[in-house]
């Protein structure tokens, strides 16, 4: 308490000067309409900017909630889109839901080794199982390899063991999407025959010839290609839509028809 009193006594002249200055300003504003106008305009400007700054701060901290809402809307729209495409334009009912989309988030991502994996924050408790496809808002990410109750690991398309069915958009020519281990922003499409007319910039999408990914999910664009004359197939470099170094929200795709398809294929293979 004594320190506060000493501080006031030490700076008493400054305090007195500030007090008298405020009194003078108040008397000036009250006695002159011009000064009143300037004072109130300044007050309004200060108040408006204070509210604007406060609103910007609130909006910034609310971005996470907004991103969550957008991600959930994206999940619902993708689920509707995948099932609409399978219904061949007919109205959907509850018996026609072939695909379920589950929303999650990446908690660990590797892209610099030869066998890259991604860890996501959803698992068996959320309905995620092995061999489900994983995509982002930009394109495919990989395939679920292992799951626990609340987490899963995903084999990234940036993995030398990865092999995904893909095709050139607006054609029926399919190939295998693989990775040679060189660059994190490009993969390779093989087994496309030489009779297919290719153009740099053509879009590559999932082919739908597996029970993991629906047809038509974007992958990337043709960066360059060359003809392997020994086998009459193209070697195609595909520039990815996904920024594989910056992955946030993801969507896991469950194909309800997959168990039936796998059982049928197993029976067919056993019969041969």
Predicted confidence (pLDDT) per residue in 75-106, tens digit: 777 777 777 655 444 544 444 568 899 999 99
Stated pTM of the model? 0.70
What CATH fold (topology level) applies to the domain 100-257?
Thrombin, subunit H (2.40.10)
Compute the Cα dihedral for 16, 21, 27, 29 and give only its sign: negative
Q: Which residues pair with 226 in a beta bridge?
A: 235
Summarize the confidence of residues 58-71 as an average pLDDT.
63
Q: What's residue 88's pLDDT?
A: 47
HSE at residue 101, side-chain half, CA atoms within 13 A, is 22
- For the chain, what are the domain ranges? 2-61, 100-257
């Amino acid at each position: 308490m004594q320190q506060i009193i000493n501080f006031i006594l030490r700076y008493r002249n400054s305090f007195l000067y500030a007090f008298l200055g405020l009194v003078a300003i108040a008397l000036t504003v009250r006695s002159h309409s011009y000064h009143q106008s300037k004072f109130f305009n300044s007050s309004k400007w200060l108040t408006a900017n204070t509210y604007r700054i406060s609103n910007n701060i609130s909006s910034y901290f609310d971005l996470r909630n907004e991103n969550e809402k957008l991600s959930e809307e994206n999940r619902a729209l993708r689920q509707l889109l995948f099932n609409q495409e399978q219904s061949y334009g007919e109205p959907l009912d509850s018996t026609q839901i072939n695909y379920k989309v589950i929303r999650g988030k990446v908690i660990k991502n590797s892209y610099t080794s030869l066998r890259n994996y991604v860890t996501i924050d959803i698992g068996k408790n959320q309905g995620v199982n092995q061999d489900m496809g994983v995509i982002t808002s930009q394109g495919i990410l990989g395939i679920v390899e292992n799951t626990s109750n609340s987490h899963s690991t995903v084999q990234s398309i940036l993995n030398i063991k990865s092999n995904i069915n893909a095709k050139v958009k607006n054609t029926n020519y399919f190939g295998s999407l693989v990775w040679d281990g060189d660059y994190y922003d490009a993969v390779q499409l093989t087994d496309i025959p030489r009779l297919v007319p290719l153009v740099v910039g053509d879009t590559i999408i999932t082919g739908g010839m597996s029970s993991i990914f629906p047809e038509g999910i974007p992958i990337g664009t043709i960066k360059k290609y060359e003809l392997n004359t020994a086998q009459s197939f193209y070697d195609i470099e595909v520039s990815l839509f996904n920024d594989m170094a910056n992955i946030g929200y993801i969507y896991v795709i469950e194909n309800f028809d997959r168990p039936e398809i796998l059982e049928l294929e197993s029976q067919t293979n056993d019969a041969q």
